[in-house]
Amino acid sequence: MMKATRPAIISVGRTRFGEHYETEPEKLVEEAGLTALDSAKIERKDLNACYFADYFLPITNKIGLEEGFLSELLELNIPMEITRSFSSALSNASNAILAGKQDLVLVGGMEKMTDRWDKIRDDLMLLEDPWSYYAGCTPEANHELMFRAYIKKYGIAGQELDILNTALAEFSVKNHQNALNNKYAQYHRKISVNEVLKARTRARRPLGLFDFAPISDGASALVLANSDLAKSYTKKPVYIQGYSLATDYITFPSRKDLTGFAATRLAMKKSLKEADIGLNDISILELYDQSTMMGMVSLEDLGFCEKGKAWMDIHRCLRESEDHYQLNGRRLFINMNGGLKADGNPLGATGGAEIFEVFKQLRREAGEKQVNASEDLKHGCIHELEGFGTKAYIYILGRELE
């Protein structure tokens, strides 16, 4: 990617994540989108295009041809495209910027999942793995299958298994702790390791209530521009220095490795190469943790922990520090917004919340969540998955046009 044409994020916006039964979809979109536009003093008429993400709006809210919905909402006739994940929408927008087709675009995502939770539960499983669905699995099943495959492959038993179980619980507790300072988070509640372990016992399963991200409603948005135009709107643009995506089989049991996500490994490798940085240059990481198990193996897939040993690192780090992980000889701040577990997981908007957090951290505008001012914050990494690791997106953001 040529330095002069790197896409630049000018501004961001989002809603609180949670249960928004009383709020119409257009109100959520409007709140997130107008926040992003207003903070950069951009008017709708200035936009060249709009890229938007949602998984289930046609099902949950009977909204068909979402592009027309957006056109009517924004009162614009510019090009608009719909994707599933926020990262996919951002990828399309970034490609358009790099190709010179667009100069200033709005990227957004939203979901109203709690409106029809009973309806979309089957659709969530089909989205992850249709063959597992027909075998009677639930959306949580593959996470537990991965857990069992992991402990079998690495021979984890006895006291080591107790430590792994505790580490996953500590990971959940840490996310909830981080969310206490996130005004947009779905949950502002401290939990304990004991609560996480008891929930597993009650469920008689390896993963319990506090191991999984919730069902959520919400919206997120950002304004993206080419690097030259961005400087006319803000003195502190955040540049997309590298981004990539990769794909794997949709059927989880058919994959070669059941203890991680090949798509994440491939996308991370390409993104680091494009950004021309190493792992130790990354200070902020937003993990796509639909479950504690997914969060743990993703640390391995991204290269921050050795395969089969992330649980050791999590257990050690969270006992040694209250705010960061010490990995590869460098401090790494993970899920400062609470992650999907506590911030919430409205699928189409989730990636936007991850971008929101890293953007604010790099600009030192994260309020009470802000990483210590003594830290040299140059690069942040965003990780988002579609399905159960079927597609992986990696974005590396930076403050400098490198």
Superfamily holding 3-117+215-230:
Thiolase/Chalcone synthase (3.40.47.10)
Q: Which residues contact 24 (CB under 8 A, 6 or more apart)?
A: none
At residue 325, the pLDDT reads 86
Radius of gyration, alpha carbons of the chain: 20
CA–CA gap between residue 269 and residue 250 (Å, rounded)? 21
CA–CA gap between residue 55 and residue 149 (Å, rounded)? 29
Position 152, amino acid: K
At residue 136, the pLDDT reads 75
| 139 band by pLDDT with thresholds 50, 70 and 90 | confident
What backbone torsions phi and psi does residue 355 show, to the nearest 5 degrees? -60, -45
Per-residue pLDDT reduced to its tens digit, 59-79 = 888 888 888 988 998 898 999
Per-residue pLDDT reduced to its tens digit, 315-356 = 998 887 777 888 877 889 999 999 999 999 999 999 999 999
What backbone torsions phi and psi does residue 250 show, to the nearest 5 degrees? -75, -30
Residue 86 near residue 355, CB atoms below 8 Å: yes
Q: Is the pLDDT of residue 29 over 70?
A: yes
Per-residue pLDDT reduced to its tens digit, 208-247 = 999 999 999 999 999 999 999 999 999 999 999 999 999 9
Mean per-residue pLDDT, 163-172? 97
At residue 40, the pLDDT reads 93
At residue 392, the pLDDT reads 98
CA–CA gap between residue 120 and residue 113 (Å, rounded)? 8
What is the sign of the dihedral through the CA atoms of 295, 296, 299 and 302? Answer: negative
Q: Is the pLDDT of residue 1 over 60?
A: no
User: Which pTM does this prediction carry?
Assistant: 0.95
Q: Is 320 exposed, middle or buried (0-12, 13-18, 19+ CB in 10 A)?
A: exposed
Q: Is 58 exposed, middle or buried (0-12, 13-18, 19+ CB in 10 A)?
A: middle
Residue ranges of the domains in the chain?
Answer: 3-117+215-230
Q: What is the largest CA-CA distance in the chain?
A: 63
